Structure 1
Amino acid sequence: MAIGIDKIGFFTSPYYLDIVDLAHARNEEPNKFLIGIGQKKQSVIPPTQDVVTLAANAAEKILSTADKQQIDMIIFGTETGIDNSKSAAIYIQSLLGISNQARSFEIKQACYGGTAGLQMGVEHIRLHPDSKVLVLAADIARYGINTPGEVTQGGGAVAMLLAADPQILEIEDKRTFYSDNIMDFWRPLYRKDAVVDGHYSNEIYIDFFKRTWELYQQKYNRQLDDFSSLIFHLPYTKMGLKALRSIIDESNHPQTLLAQFEASRVYNALVGNLYTGSLYLSLISLLANSNQLAGGSLIGLFSYGSGAQGEFYSARISNRFDNKNLKREMTDLLANRQQLTIDQYQDMYRSALSLSNENQKFDLSNDSSDFVLAGRQDDQRLYQSQK
C-alpha cells in the first residue's frame, strides 16, 4: 500500500526584504549574500502572524470539508512554540473546524520536527489505511538585527495531508538516522532569537548528511544514480549545495542532479529559513519547477535538526501528480508580496508579541490573510478568522 503526501500547501508573510538592500545596510558586498549564502529575498513576519496563523493559512488552502472530517491526527512540528504546555495543533483544529475526534499534538526537535511528524503520520496510516493525517511544519527564524545570522532569517508554513494512495509523493519505508547531543544551535526559553555557532553547525550538517547517506547505501544497496534528485533542509540554499557537492563525484550524471537541486531551491531563495518547513518548501520547489520529474521518479530527502538529528529517506513521485496548480499558486503567492525598506523591516521585526504578560492589540488593517493574530488578552493569544 502506497502512503504519502496527498496534498501540500505553503503560506508565508505578505512582506519581504530584498537581500541586496540588507547587504548595503550592513556594509557588505551583495554577492556575499546572493552567491555565498544563496539568498535573494527574505520573508518578514508581521506581528499579526505567528506559527499558528501561518500554518492555518497554509492548511486552509488545501483541505476540503471532507478532509477536515476524515483527519484523525494533527501533528505540528515547530521550534517556535507559543506555549510551554498547550499544543499549537489544538488551535489549528479549532480554527479550521477539523473533527474533534482527532489526536492533536506538537513535536519538537529543532528543524527536524516536520519530518518526525511526517514519518509518524505515515506509520499511523499504515496501521489505519482509511485515516488522513495533517502534518504542519511552521516556524519563524530569528537571529537578531545586525547579527551574522540575520541574512538567514525568514518564516512560513508547509501543510501536508497524508493519505493512502497519495496524489503527490509516496514515502518509501526506507530511512536511516543519526543523532548526537551537540550544541550547534539552540533557543533558550527566555529568548526569541536563536543562539547559533554557525561554522560548527555547518560542519555538523555535512557530517550528519554523509553519515545518513552512507548508512542508507549500506542498508538498502542503492547508489546515487538510482535517484532522479536529492533535496535538503535549507537553512540557506548554499548549505544544501555544499552537501550535494560532498558526494557528487559518486554520480555518472552530476549535472542532472545539480540541475534538479537548482529547481529545488528556487522558492527557499525567495523566502528564507523556515526551520521545520525548509525541507518541505524545497520539495514544493522541486515539484513545481523541475521539468525532469515523472511518475515513479525516486528522490532522496535529507532532514536535519540542530542539537542534533539527521535523517535520510526516499520517496517516489506519484503517477497522479500534476504540477500546474502548485506552480501557479506559488507564483501568485510570492509575486504578490510587498517589499519593505530596511527601516520598515526593523520596525516590523521589533513589533512582534513580547515575552512579557502585558495585554497587546494589533492593527489588522494591513493583513488580509484568512487567519490572523489579533493580540493577547489575559495571557491568552487572540486568533481571528477573516474569511
Structure 2
Amino acid sequence: MLNFEYYNPVNLVFGRGQIAKLSKLIPQNAKVLMVYGGGSIFKNGVHEQVASALEKHTVVEFKGVEPNPRYETLMKAVKVVKEENIDFVLAVGGGSVIDGVKFISAAANFEGDATEILRKRLRIEDNALPFGTVLTLPATGSEMNSGSVVTIEATQEKLPFGGPALFPQFSICDPSVVASLPVRQVQNGVVDAFTHVLEQYITYPHDAILQDRIAEGILQTLVEVGPKVAENPSDYTLAANFMWSCTMALNGLIQKGVPTDWATHMIGHELTALYEIDHARTLAIIAPNLYRVMFDTKKEKLAQYGQRVWGINADTIEEGAAMAIEKTVQFFHAMGMDTKLSGYTPEYEKTADFIVNRFEERGWKALGERQNITPDKVKAIVELSY
C-alpha cells in the first residue's frame, strides 16, 4: 500500500429535514452569499427551506451559475463578495454550483489574475473564504472533497484545481431532493459517480485490499440502485443510497494508498468544453475506449472488476477483462448514455487532433496511473470514440 495522509474536515449532515440546521451551522453574525444555479431550488422548495433557516442572517443572493461553471460568471460573484463584505458563502445546488463556490472562495482574497488559479492549477492552502453547501443533485462528490473544475468560456478550457482550504465547512445532504430531479440528471449522477470509482480502481493490482473492496461495494450499489432510482426518484431508500454512493465515490477515502488514473476525466473535460456535452456523458464516451486502448496495462484490474462486480467467470484474464468492458458499456446504455461522440455532434472528425494539440501545449504528455497515456494514445482513445 502506498504511503498516504487522509484529511477530511467536512461536517456531513445527512437525511430528511437537515436544511433546518443551517442556522446553527453558519455563524450568527456572518453575512452570507447564497449561490445557486437556475430556478429549480424554487420549484422543489429548497430555497424556501434555506431562507427560513437563515431568516435571522443577512443573506445576499447570487443566481445563474451554469452547469460546468464559467470563470466569467464566478468573477461576477467575487465582485459581489467584495462589494457586500461577505463573510460566508453558501452553495445551494449540485456539483457545478459547489465547484463554482470553491472558486469564489479561492478567488475572493486572491491577489493578481484569478485565471492563474485554473491555468497553473494552484494549490489553495489558506486565505480562502469559508463556505458550506446544501446539495441538491448527487453526482460529483464535491460536497465532501476539496477539488473543483471550472470552465474559462473565452478559451473553451475546462480546468481542475483544489487544495486543503477548499473543503466545505459543512454539507447538508437531504435525499428527499432527488424526487424533483429530471431523469437525465439522475442518470448523469449515477454514471458520474460510477466513473469516479473506476478512475481510482481500474489501474493495476496492488495490495490495498480494503480500498478495492470499498470501491467494489460502491460500484455494486450503483449497479443495484442506479436504474431503479432513475425510474423512481421519489423512493427515499433508493435516493439515500444513491446520494451516499456519490459522496463516497469521491471523498478521498478509496484513493488513499492506491494508484489512480483520471485520464478519462481529463479527456472528457475537453469534450464538455468543446461541445457542451454533459460531463457524465463524456465519461461514458471515453472510459470504455480508454480501457480498450490501454487494455494490456489494465487487464488484470478489469478482470477483477468483472468478476467481483459483474460476476464474470472467464477462462482467461483477457477474456474476463474484455467482458468487463462490455458490461460497463451495457450499464451506461441502461443509464441512458450514448457511448459514441458522433451521437452528440456531427463535427467530431477533428476532435482527436484538437485535444492532442491542446494537451501538448499544456505539457500534458504523460497521463494515467503509469504515466503511459501519451499523446498518441489520447488520439487513439478519442478516435475510437467516434
TM-score (norm 2): 0.33
- Where relative contact order (Cα < 8 A, 6+ residues apart) is larger, the structure is 1
By percentage of residues, which structure has more strand? 1
TM-score (norm 1): 0.32
By percentage of residues, which structure has more helix? 2
